[in-house]
Structure 1
Amino acid sequence: MLFLVILSSLFVVVRTVQNHQTGFTTIFTTNRLPWNGSVLDYRMMPYVGNGHVATVVFSDFIYMNGLYNGDNGTSHRARIPSTLNWQFLFHPSTSSFSLNVSSGTFTEILENDEVRIEQRIFASQEYTELLISHVVITRLALNGRKIVLPTRINEQVTSDDIDFVVAARNEQYVLLSGKTRQVENNQFQLEQLPVFVYYTPLPVNGFELDPQETSRTYLFVTSIDSEQERAKRRFEYASNERHSDQIWSSHVSLWNDVWSNGRVEIVGDDELQRQINSAFYYILSSLPPLSTRSEHKQFYGLSPGSLSRGGLVGEDYAGHSFWDTETWIYPSILLFYPNLAKEMLSYRIALRDSAADNARLFGYEGWRYPWESARTGVDVTPDGYLDIATYQQHITGDISFAARQYIAATGDRKWLMSEYGGDLVYETARFWASRVVYSNEKKKYEILTVLPPDEDARPFKNNSVFTNAVASYSIQLAHRVSCITKKVVPQHWLDIAFNLYFPFDNATQTHLEYDGFDLKNTIIKQADAVLLGFPLMWPMNKEVRRNDLLFYEPLTRASGPAMTWSMHTIGFLELNDLDKAQQFFRRAYETYVQPPYNIWTEIPESLGAVNFITGAGGFLQAVIFGYGGIRLTLDQLEVMPPPRLPNQAEKLIFHGLKYHGSILDLTIDNQNYHIDVRGMDNNNSMSLVYEYEQEHFPLTNNIRLSYPINTRLVIRPLMHFCA
């Protein structure tokens, strides 16, 4: 399908997003795509997505939220053949390929003396079923002849994962109808998953300009959904030329709203700003839109490689969800976009029956979440890693800790009482209460035969210090919200929570990763015991905090994943060791982010998973909680003195922090920090107060607070959770 439009009216809206940040910090451009020999290196290519569909630009596959194929050990994202991966058979004199993260758009421009080709690709925020491509052909030489631009068509109508049939084909559209080939688990998935793909066919004779034409725009629409009628409606709407401008302008406007709703601004360091912008983009484009006209769909989790990858077992973690979601990616989303954080938790709640079944399977109570989760919530860890699936149980505590952070940030009692949030909190605590054993020798409770976050400790250890901490917090949280949920926590559970055994070396005053850990000779994969200091904020003095950081730093292998060094950054900032913090901060992203599109890799040498948004999440935490000094607990939001500025930055600004219905802007410079309250939820019954020099003042709308950076500022709800 094609129609004529005025080019300036089609693309003018993109300028609106530049009000927030300069094009240099939001647009990633190259004149040559990343090639590996004669093959395009898709690992280094960016993606467009909207939480329902996503695709790596010019790749062979599109992926849909929740669409998996394979059984328990082979489940992976089901590959939908790409409808957007054609190539122009054209030899340009100049070319550019740009990702604009402020509008979620990829643009290809090819040009010679006679003609210019401009293609824009985006995953619609307005209607999430849609992937759209506009191709504008513009005549540059007025030679009065017909121009024909042939293409290499890579159309595929088959998939190794989906039994597709071509249900319809005409000049307007092709319809692929199919179901996945294999169910993930017969107990929780009764039949194969349906998917319907409507898409605009490419012009058989190529792209054309008649002799009298100076410009022509082609529109290519792809609509994908599990319901055929909905996929068809979206396709018909988007294919109507009257709606094209509206879909594009709405898409850009909605992305503009995302950045207006919450973002991090660095003044004085454009390169760091680019890192921050791209890190947020790659996470947000795998999450549902803040606002959309599409019907709400169940969100099926964040994979370390994003929604755009994972079509093979062993590739980018097959699209599975791990602890990465709650521990590494979630915290930076929570404070700016609490509704999206709630969507992330909804995935775990939706699969609660599987979690309960998993606990019973191992002889325990409550909900025990799997190490790797896909469509049904059963454990889909591939064969060869079953020891990890069996013993890496801290993920249940990680999910509970994420619930703790959500409650702390929002005070959302409705979520606790009527949206299964209270059940999530209680049942994960019940699991831990059933999981412990009492040691007569230690006079403490223990959690035996587990694998800590450090997977180099395989096959299993006793008393992972991190696991015991999240287990204790899980039970404590159930107690703290019990007056709201009316789910009474037995005293025995509280005895467990406050009497768990924590391995500790008295001689060095250092936490041990697990029982029997050798502080001198053991090499570890990634941050583990240092996570006690942050994000867990487990009570300890500064000496122990420093010792944990100093002892575990040299033990961590250089090939460890990116997010480890973000946690060391935060730790050394707490200790006011700015040189160490800066060293680890730069290490946290400089060797893991690959040009030209700031693609995150899991490890520096052999890349590992890409695009590794786990690393992006850890990096953003170093900015927000490290240099920003923000700390969130069940009782308060605190800005720890003194906040610091990273790299060469002159100012650090957090726009749109959300706390108990208030919207705050936090600005930090070399001498002061300022908090501007630009929104208060009038329906929030828990009024806020801020504490300064041991005095309390009400927090009101449009108030501006300014203090020296060595000042501690605390914001608290007047009413909160149970004692």
Structure 2
Amino acid sequence: MLWTPAPPDLTLGEGEEDRTWDFLTVVGGSQAEAQACLTEALQLQARGALYKAHAQAWAQLWAECGLDMVGPLPLRQALRGSLYYLLSALPQPKAPGYICHGLSPGGLSNGSREECYWGHVFWDQDLWMFPNILMFHPEAARAILEYRIRTLGGALGNAQNLGYQGAKFAWESTGSGLEVCPEDIYGAQEVHVNGAVVLAFELYYHTTQDLQLFREAGGWDVVRAVAEFWCSRVEWSPREEKLYPEHHLGLVCPGYHSGVNNSVYTNVLVQNRKNLEIYEAVTSPQGPAMTWSMFAVGWMELKDTARARGLLDRSFASMAEPFKVWTENADGSGAVNFLTGMGGFLQAVLFGCTGFRVTRAGVTFDPVCLSGISRVSVSGIFYQGNKLNFSFSEDSVTVEVTARAGPWAPHLEAELWPSQARLSLLPGHKVSFPRSAGQIQRSPASLPGRTF
């Protein structure tokens, strides 16, 4: 790491009301790489072009993806800020040596001793951050999965140390994949991380059809090892003549409820009004930032827009002004630059308001209009080699395929429910229809897409 030193004091001249000072920090994989990058940055700075280059790079990134709405400005700013910090924590796409070393709850900016979980990687990466990244940047999503592939050896060791087969991904992981949680009990019992890891692989496959990752790059090894771990944990119940998983953490937030058998969290995801009413009432008001986002999604599924709207507002209470930086808890305590909370909040809009669900058959949608929000727009959605824009209002939905990665990318269509009407989605043509549920899927007439 190299940087330009900051002076001991900053002074304005006589009659001078403001001045800007620029300081640079460069982090590289080697001294030579860092020095080369710092030299380039200093040259841009000397020409007065550094900020312009920075702004142009971000403008290009925003042109490729976006999540916005016609609604309250604080809500729009929270969406933009959350997506900004999440993208900032990722390596630059297509950069040389593009490797992701995992996303910690505090991103790149925090993680010293006893701060922000030491910068370790949790299930937060796979469950709370990954789905948002996957919808816009599949190459970055793949890089996150490759981190899990590279750390599979450590996960195999974790399972062996606990007396099980297969792989147990660490509750707190670093470069080795070995468990580095300071408290042994969490490393041993927080096994739900495995489910989040495999869910990320499943969502990635349905979205990209990238068989190469699984066949040649180690993805299948991860899935198989997790399956072996779960199989080695089941116990036979003579009374019921069934196999059950032995005790593990699980229900609302697994970290709050330990040592239960046959956990609902692991075995089935139950979404209904009674569950939401019961668990919303008993969930700690001091819970982490992503808590209320998921309740908002649940109420949107049930079309209770009033309750969903209130919880959506509550879900970004952990955001601090003026730079929209999140903390883990609404009172300012916990991890700083809390990407986990930002990821949950983004999901409340990206998957809650739109109703997006990535399935084997396609991407389902079921848009919900909340009070004070007249339109939601999502641009740059990636699905099987196609880039799409999706927007909706109280009256209508508009879908447009803006680009195809190549002739191998399948043609898409929108199937509307319950009418089952099918509308072709041709590149460059906007398709609008009355607001309804449906699914974006491969057209039956489309030739099979290649793997990539």
Q: TM-score over 0.5 for the alignment?
A: yes
Identity %, equivalent residues: 31
Matched residue, 1:706? 432
Secondary structure, aligned partner of 2:296: helix
User: For 1:389 and 1:560, how far apart are their aligned partners in 2?
Assistant: 21
CA contact (8 A) 2:395 2:434 kept: yes
The counterpart of 2:147, out of the listed 329, 347, 364, is 347
User: For 1:391 and 1:300, how far apart are their aligned partners in 2?
Assistant: 24
Amino acid at match of 2:19: I
User: For 1:270 and 1:604, how far apart are their aligned partners in 2?
Assistant: 20
The counterpart of 2:361, out of the listed 622, 629, 635, is 635
Matched residue, 1:119? 21
Matched residue, 1:626? 352
Note the residue ranges of structure 1 that are not aligned, 5 or more in a row.
Answer: 1-79, 93-110, 121-132, 134-220, 470-531, 534-543
Matched residue, 1:526? none
Structure 1's 392 and 646: CA in aligned 2 closer, same or farther, altered over 3 A?
same
User: For 1:716 and 1:86, how far apart are their aligned partners in 2?
Assistant: 59
Matched residue, 2:92? 289
Q: Does residue 447 of structure 1 match 2:242?
A: no
The counterpart of 1:566, out of the listed 289, 293, 296, is 293
User: For 1:112 and 1:670, how far apart are their aligned partners in 2?
Assistant: 57
Structure 1's 562 and 447: CA in aligned 2 closer, same or farther, altered over 3 A?
same
CA contact (8 A) 1:238 1:244 kept: no
- Residues 330-370 of structure 1 deviation map (CA, whole Å, 9 limit, x = unaligned): 11111011111111111111111111222222222222101
The offset of 1:686, in angstroms, is 4.1
The counterpart of 1:433, out of the listed 231, 238, 241, is 231
User: For 2:363 and 2:338, how far apart are their aligned partners in 1?
Assistant: 29
Secondary structure, aligned partner of 2:282: coil
Structure 1's 655 and 377: CA in aligned 2 closer, same or farther, altered over 3 A?
same
Of Structure 1 and Structure 2, the greater strand share is in 1
Structure 1's 432 and 683: CA in aligned 2 closer, same or farther, altered over 3 A?
farther
Q: Which runs of 4+ in 1 moved over 6 A?
A: none
Q: Does residue 457 of structure 1 match 2:294?
A: no
Matched residue, 1:300? 101
Structure 1's 340 and 371: CA in aligned 2 closer, same or farther, altered over 3 A?
same
Structure 1's 415 and 709: CA in aligned 2 closer, same or farther, altered over 3 A?
same
User: For 1:272 and 1:606, how far apart are their aligned partners in 2?
Assistant: 19
Structure 1's 265 and 456: CA in aligned 2 closer, same or farther, altered over 3 A?
closer
Amino acid at match of 1:624: L
CA contact (8 A) 2:2 2:35 kept: no
User: For 1:390 and 1:546, how far apart are their aligned partners in 2?
Assistant: 33
Matched residue, 1:678? 402
CA contact (8 A) 2:3 2:26 kept: no
Q: Does residue 466 of structure 1 match 2:262?
A: no
TM-score normalised by structure 2 residue count: 0.91
Secondary structure, aligned partner of 1:603: coil
Amino acid at match of 2:65: G
Secondary structure, aligned partner of 2:357: strand
Matched residue, 1:615? 341
CA contact (8 A) 1:369 1:395 kept: yes
Matched residue, 2:390? 666
Mapping 1:128-139, distance limit 5 Å: 133=23
The counterpart of 1:552, out of the listed 262, 265, 279, is 279
Q: Does residue 689 of structure 1 match 2:416?
A: no
- Residues 524-567 of structure 1 deviation map (CA, whole Å, 9 limit, x = unaligned): xxxxxxxx25xxxxxxxxxx611111111111111111111111
- Residues 579-614 of structure 1 deviation map (CA, whole Å, 9 limit, x = unaligned): 111111111112x11222222111123511112111
The counterpart of 2:78, out of the listed 275, 278, 282, is 275
Matched residue, 1:597? 323
The offset of 1:418, in angstroms, is 1.7
Mapping 1:302-341, distance limit 5 Å: 302-313=103-114, 315-341=115-141
CA contact (8 A) 2:385 2:410 kept: no
The counterpart of 1:266, out of the listed 69, 72, 97, is 69
TM-score normalised by structure 1 residue count: 0.58
Corresponding pairs, count: 443
User: For 1:622 and 1:686, how far apart are their aligned partners in 2?
Assistant: 29
Secondary structure, aligned partner of 2:316: helix
Secondary structure, aligned partner of 1:432: helix
User: For 1:338 and 1:230, how far apart are their aligned partners in 2?
Assistant: 26
The offset of 1:409, in angstroms, is 1.2
Aligned CA RMSD, in angstroms, stands at 2.4
CA contact (8 A) 1:254 1:291 kept: no
The offset of 1:290, in angstroms, is 2.5
Secondary structure, aligned partner of 1:265: strand
Matched residue, 2:158? 358
Secondary structure, aligned partner of 2:427: coil
User: For 1:115 and 1:554, how far apart are their aligned partners in 2?
Assistant: 52
Amino acid at match of 2:100: F
Q: Which has the larger radius of gyration?
A: 1
User: For 1:456 and 1:713, how far apart are their aligned partners in 2?
Assistant: 36
Structure 1's 261 and 564: CA in aligned 2 closer, same or farther, altered over 3 A?
same
The counterpart of 1:372, out of the listed 172, 193, 196, is 172
CA contact (8 A) 1:83 1:222 kept: yes
Of Structure 1 and Structure 2, the greater helix share is in 2
Structure 1's 244 and 560: CA in aligned 2 closer, same or farther, altered over 3 A?
same
CA contact (8 A) 1:593 1:600 kept: yes
Secondary structure, aligned partner of 1:438: strand
- Residues 300-352 of structure 1 deviation map (CA, whole Å, 9 limit, x = unaligned): 11111111001112x11110111111111111111011111111111111111
Secondary structure, aligned partner of 1:368: coil
CA contact (8 A) 1:636 1:717 kept: no
Mapping 1:567-582, distance limit 5 Å: 567-582=294-309
The offset of 1:665, in angstroms, is 0.5
Note the residue ranges of structure 2 that are not aligned, 5 or more in a row.
Answer: none
Matched residue, 1:235? 38
- Residues 198-234 of structure 1 deviation map (CA, whole Å, 9 limit, x = unaligned): xxxxxxxxxxxxxxxxxxxxxxx54433422222333
The counterpart of 1:252, out of the listed 55, 71, 76, is 55
Structure 1's 85 and 442: CA in aligned 2 closer, same or farther, altered over 3 A?
farther
CA contact (8 A) 1:388 1:451 kept: no
The offset of 1:248, in angstroms, is 4.2
